[in-house]
Amino acid sequence: MTAGTLRLGLGPEMPSVSSVESVTYHAQMQQRNGARELGLIVATLAVVSGFVTDAPLWAATALTVIVAAAGTASLLGELRPWRWPLDRVSLPAMAAFVSVGIACLVDPVPWLAVVFVGSWAVTGWVVSIETAAATVGGEPGSVAPDGTHARPTAARLGAFGLAFLAFAAIGGIVPGGVAGDGQPLTVAAFLATIVLDVAIGGLAGYRIAAVRPHTPGQAAVAFYQYSMVVAPVGVLVRVLALPRLFGPAVLVLATYLVTSLRESDEPVRFNVRLLEETLVLILAGAVVVAIGVVVK
Which residue ranges make up each domain of the chain? Answer: 21-145, 151-296
Q: Residue 20 — pLDDT band, cuts 50, 70, 90?
A: very low
Percent of the chain surpassing pLDDT 90: 20
Q: Does 276 score more than 70 pLDDT?
A: no
Average model confidence (pLDDT) across the chain: 76
- The predicted-structure confidence for 74-112, as pLDDT tens digits, reads as follows 888 888 888 888 888 999 999 999 999 999 888 777 888
Q: Taking 60 as the threshold, does the pLDDT of residue 7 lie above it? A: no
Predicted pLDDT at 179: 52
Q: Which region among 35-44, 113-122, 157-166, 253-262 has the lowest average model confidence (pLDDT)?
A: 253-262
* CA dist., res. 173 & res. 166, Å (int): 11
Q: What is the pLDDT of residues 42-78, one digit of tens each?
A: 999 999 988 888 889 999 999 999 999 999 998 888 8
- What average pLDDT does range 10-39 have in this prediction? 58
State the Cα–Cα distance between residues 182 and 30, nearest whole angstrom: 46
The rounded distance, in Å, linking the Cα atoms of 7 and 12 is 8
Cβ pair 240, 289 in contact under 8 A: yes
pLDDT band at 145 (very low <50, low <70, confident <90, very high): very low
In this structure, are residues 201 and 251 in contact, taking their beta carbons and an 8 Å threshold?
A: yes
pLDDT the model gives residue 175: 80
Other C-beta atoms closer than 10 Å to the C-beta of 138 total 16
Q: Average pLDDT in the 197-220 region?
A: 84
SS3 of residue 15 by DSSP = coil
For the cut 60, the answer to whether the pLDDT of residue 4 exceeds it is: no
Burial of 26 (0-12, 13-18, 19+ CB in 10 A): exposed
Q: What is the 3-state secondary structure (H, E, C) of 165-184?
A: HHHHHHHHHCCCCCCCCCCC
Over the stretch 218-272, which tens digit does the pLDDT of each residue have? 778 888 888 888 888 888 777 776 666 777 888 888 888 888 777 766 565 555 6
Query: What pTM did the predictor assign?
Result: 0.77
User: Average pLDDT in the 7-28 region?
Assistant: 47
